[in-house]
Amino acid sequence: MSYILTIVGARPQFVKAAVVSEALSDLNIPEKIIHTGQHYDHEMSTIFWEELNIPVPALNLGIGSGSHGEQTGIMLQKLESYILQEPELPTALMVYGDTNSTLAGALVASKLHIPVIHVEAGLRSFNKAMPEEINRIMTDHISDILFCSSDQGVKQLKREGISKGVFNVGDVMYDALLTFSEIAKQKVSLSDITSLKKDQFILTTIHRPSNTDNEDHLKNIMEAFSKIEQQILWPVHPRNKNKIEQLDLPANLVLSEPVSYFEMMVLLNNCQKVITDSGGLQKEAYWMKKQCITVRNETEWIETLDGKWNTLTGPYAERIVRAVNSNPETNWVPLYGQGFSSSDIANIIKKQLKS
């Protein structure tokens, strides 16, 4: 085996790569990492690498922001150029999740006849208006090794005619949470991040263009926040900062700068509930045994909906408030593996690429 080439570009992928890269290293599987630069703000990128001790990338493409087509196109060009100038082609190219970096990496590898490994395969929101949905569908259909987080992913791939090279390994984000949450508590305290007190605030992250770029949706969300009794802490994504600060904000809403992964772990551990339109935070809230209110009309993580641990509200004030005022109806049960997904992935890669 020459080496695995890993493509990442967004901070959830940095977290996933941290644990999978360590597992690859434990089995002496060589790896090179390319950071596309899709997330380029320090708090959204560099600090994650520093905290999680991810191997230094062989290259940062520095793509930055842009339209989906522009961003993906530049990534395709630069990734292909990098791979072709290397002394030898990688044994396989690995991508995570559903970003433009994921699709670009998978397409380049496929065109160069390099096997594609997709971590977090088989997820579907069934909403093709979401760019992420297109990215994940296309990536799955050109991948050679597909690692799913649950049986639902395996079943969905089978419905789409994909059964070869499919493995249910659980979720590497759970590995990361188990690995880093205790370290985070030792390195960061709640008072380092906010003056809000334990169990006295709701943590929120709202960043999807369908919510933040739609004036009516954003107003509905602000209306919901104003009707919630608890204080709400919102670490604001850089692209939305100016837009949010121009709004008439509810008195109970506390804005903050973006937070690191360790800081997010501490906030999750100390908050009362979570309101989000993120994908990954839905799972992390569940693993932290925090009720989640998802400001979307669909979720890829349908298992979290059982027992109202996670509730879909869409950007509708009344539904958001009603969900916040409810509580889970069932006991918490483990979802998405037991925390060994990364080592399972490394072992399968080693076996599959030798066969």
Catalytic residues: 207
143: Cβ contacts below 8 Å, ≥ 6 apart: 106, 116, 117, 118, 121, 165
Decide if 230 contacts 36 (C-beta within 8 A). Answer: no
Helix extents (H) in the chain: 11-26, 46-52, 68-85, 100-111, 131-141, 151-159, 172-187, 190-193, 209-212, 215-226, 241-245, 261-270, 280-287, 317-324, 341-352
- DSSP line for 191-211: HHH-SPPTTSEEEEE---HHH
What the block records as the tokens of 314 is 């869409």
Decide if 177 contacts 281 (C-beta within 8 A). Answer: no
Decide if 193 contacts 267 (C-beta within 8 A). Answer: yes
218: Cβ contacts below 8 Å, ≥ 6 apart: 211, 212, 243, 247, 315
| Cα–Cα distance, 158 to 153 (Å, whole number) | 9
> Which residues are paired to 204 by β-bridges?
275
Residue 331 CB neighbour total at 10 angstroms: 7
Instruction: Order across the sheet with 310-312: list the strands.
Output: 253-256, 231-235, 201-205, 273-276, 292-294, 310-312
Burial of residue 60, with CB atoms counted within 10 A of its CB: 0-12 exposed, 13-18 middle, 19 or more buried: middle
> Which residues are paired to 31 by β-bridges?
4
| Cα–Cα distance, 71 to 102 (Å, whole number) | 12
Secondary element (H or E) of residue 94? strand 92-96
Torsion-angle region of residue 245: left (phi > 0), alpha (psi -120 to 50) or beta?
A: alpha
